[in-house]
Amino acid sequence: MAEPRSPSALSAARAYRAALARLVRGEGRHPDHQGRIVRINPASVAREAAKSRNPLYTTHRDILDEIEAAVQAPGPSRDLATRVLEMEAEIALLRSEARRHSEEKRKLASENLALLLRARTAEDKLTSLQRRAPLAPAAVMPVRPLPR
């Protein structure tokens, strides 16, 4: 399509191209794009340019071709799918580890309860034996003389 002639159309084309270049570099300025790798498409380019996306389809078809070329080129947006797969695998691993840790925690709590029960039973048995035993002479403890 021929280059638009009106000053506003030229300004919009510059804004779209600048936005596309920022997104390709991974340096988006829009709050939704800052610090993130953004999937490049007409909507994200229009959002970054703070323009409507309708002119991209009606007046700036050449910029749509540039967007398509940017999507196919290697770069941060191209690596996005790979990164998403890596992160999904990491999430699955972390979830399985969380389940394993939860199971270990349940087993340890059960073991602690069993040990507590054994300790209380032993204490009760000792108390019972002490009550039944005849009064034994008190254990003689050595007495140290007081220092002078």
Count of CB atoms within 10 A of residue 63's CB?
23
d(CA 148, CA 146): 6
What pLDDT is recorded for position 1?
A: 46
Q: How far is CA 43 from CA 16, 47, 62, 64, 71, in A?
A: 11, 6, 15, 11, 13
What pLDDT is recorded for position 35?
A: 75
d(CA 41, CA 65): 11
Count of CB atoms within 10 A of residue 94's CB?
10
d(CA 49, CA 45): 6
Q: How far is CA 16 from CA 5, 22, 78, 138, 143, in A?
A: 16, 10, 20, 97, 96
Provide the token pair at 94. Answer: 């972390």
* Helix or strand (DSSP H, E) at 86: helix 80-132
**Splitting the chain (148 residues) into consecutive groups of 10 residues, what average pLDDT does each group show?**
68 91 84 80 91 88 89 67 86 96 97 95 91 66 62
Residue that has been written with the tokens 């300790």 in this structure: 119
Provide the token pair at 49. Answer: 């340019």
